[in-house]
Amino acid sequence: MNQKKERLRKLWVSLLGVCVLGLAVYAADSLGWIDNYIRGIFIQCCFAIIMVTSLNLVMGYLGQIALGHAGFMAVGAYTSALVTKAIGLGIKAGAILPMSNVMQFFIGLLCGAVAAALFGLVVGIPALRLRGDYLAIITLGFGEIIRVIIQNLAFAGGKGLANGQAGQALVGILKMNDIYVIFGVTAVCVAIMLAFVRSKFGRAIIAIREDDIASSSAGLNITFYKVLTFTVSAFFAGIAGAIYAHRGLGTLQHSDFTFLKSTEYVIMVVLGGMGSMTGSVVAAIILSVIPEALRAFSQYRMLIYSVILVLMMIFRPIGLFGNYEFSLYELLRGKLTGKPPRSGRSAAKGGA
């Protein structure tokens, strides 16, 4: 069957794309270009990519503004950190069979993601009855609630409000800054989200964004799809949080997950283009790297963000990519056969 062949070919090209990117990282690594500083930025890009693509599911595809994404990231970060700490203690005490760091990290990552998804579900069910500005406000509220609760949990490093700001950090977290593992996780996450968007689920949530009354008249259970998308989005925010927690500093502070953090990711989604995974990936990389490159002006970062956002709204309200998706397969097909590339929307995309 012709279609089957094309699907397989697309899959191979996508895998190839990921491998080429991986090899590029490997080459840079073996040339000694990747020191700890670059490694830090690389990991920052990776969890930003997961955060932004997952937030894009809610903002771009479902069309609902959510300002509490950092809250879910916090849940994922703390849960995974506590789990890996517990595993570490268990191994030391001989209660658990020894296992590699990567294994521990993955168990923590999965727990963090599931915990974040549960929070997403619990927050989503009441919150998604609202829409527009009201949803934005309530998600903002939930995000802050999650953070403040963490601030007051003794086992999460918080000492309670009575103790003021002092010593509120979770310390001694496992370090997992192997760039290949993080790269792999990121690629898989983006691939899963792309698959989600290109299925009945993606179609349904785009339809709900376009017209919710018509969607329910076409037989869609709107509440179900909204809550599902919110939960999936929170799940991946949890994964990003887990990567963040294990990025190598060994500490976690509740103040890492403030409202400003959520806003940063919202800006990245808008900049990349609501409804474009490519845009999200590119915007996440750009806005993670630029502040590092412009270290000297770091105190103006939020100012620069705002200016970028305002200019964007004036000159290109659809974001850098609109809803265009980059496809390595289509690009190669165009170059090799001279056929014009098909519309970016229906095409498959190669890698992270």
Partner 1 sequence: MPETILRASHLGITFGGLKAVHNFEIDIKEGELVGLIGPNGAGKTTVFNLFTGVYKPTEGTFYLGKQLMNGKKTHEIVAAGIARTFQNIRLFKKMTVMENVLIAFTKDIRYGLPGSILRTAAFWKEEADIRDKAMDLLSVFNLQDKADWNAGNLPYGQQRKLEIARALATNAKMLLLDEPAAGMNPTETAELLACINTIRRKFNISILLIEHDMSLVMNICERIVVIDYGEIIAQGLPEEISHDPKVIAAYLGE
- Nearest approach, Cβ of residue 319 and partner 1 (Å): 15
- Nearest approach, Cβ of residue 139 and partner 1 (Å): 23
Q: Between 4 and 295, whose beta carbon lies closer to partner 1?
A: 4
Alpha-carbon gap, residue 73 to 222, rounded angstroms: 25
Read off φ and ψ for residue 129, nearest 5 degrees.
-70, -20
- Nearest approach, Cβ of residue 204 and partner 1 (Å): 5
Element (H, E) at 252: strand 252-253
Read off φ and ψ for residue 251, nearest 5 degrees.
-130, 155
Position 110 contacts partner 1 (CB under 8 A): no
- Nearest approach, Cβ of residue 324 and partner 1 (Å): 13
Annotate each residue in 138-157 with x if it binds partner 1 (CB under 8 A) or - if it does not, as one string: --------------------
Q: Between 283 and 348, whose beta carbon lies closer to partner 1?
A: 348
**Nearest alpha-carbon partner for 49 in 235, 176, 251, 236:** 236
Position 125 contacts partner 1 (CB under 8 A): no
Position 2 contacts partner 1 (CB under 8 A): no
Q: Between 8 and 294, whose beta carbon lies closer to partner 1?
A: 8
Token pair in block for residue 37: 């500083």
Token pair in block for residue 302: 């939020």
Position 6 contacts partner 1 (CB under 8 A): no
Q: Between 91 and 206, whose beta carbon lies closer to partner 1?
A: 206
Annotate each residue in 194-233 with x if it binds partner 1 (CB under 8 A) or - if it does not, as one string: -xx-xxxx-xx-xx--xx-xxxxxxxxxx-----------
Q: How many CB atoms lie within 10 A of CB 182?
A: 22
* Exposed/middle/buried for residue 84 (C-beta within 10 Å: 0-12, 13-18, 19+): buried
Q: Between 154 and 213, whose beta carbon lies closer to partner 1?
A: 213
**Nearest alpha-carbon partner for 319 in 291, 278, 288:** 278
Q: Between 145 and 210, whose beta carbon lies closer to partner 1?
A: 210
The angle subtended at Cα 348 by Cα 342 and Cα 349, nearest 5°, is 115
- Nearest approach, Cβ of residue 217 and partner 1 (Å): 6
In 288-311, which positions are buried (b, 16+ CB within 10 angstroms) versus exposed (e)? Answer: beebeeeeeeeeeeeeebeebeee
**Nearest alpha-carbon partner for 76 in 284, 280, 256, 274:** 256
- Nearest approach, Cβ of residue 337 and partner 1 (Å): 20
Count of all residues that appear for the chain in the document: 352
Residues in contact with partner 1 by the rule CB under 8 A: 3-4, 7, 192, 195-196, 198-201, 203-204, 206-207, 210-211, 213-222
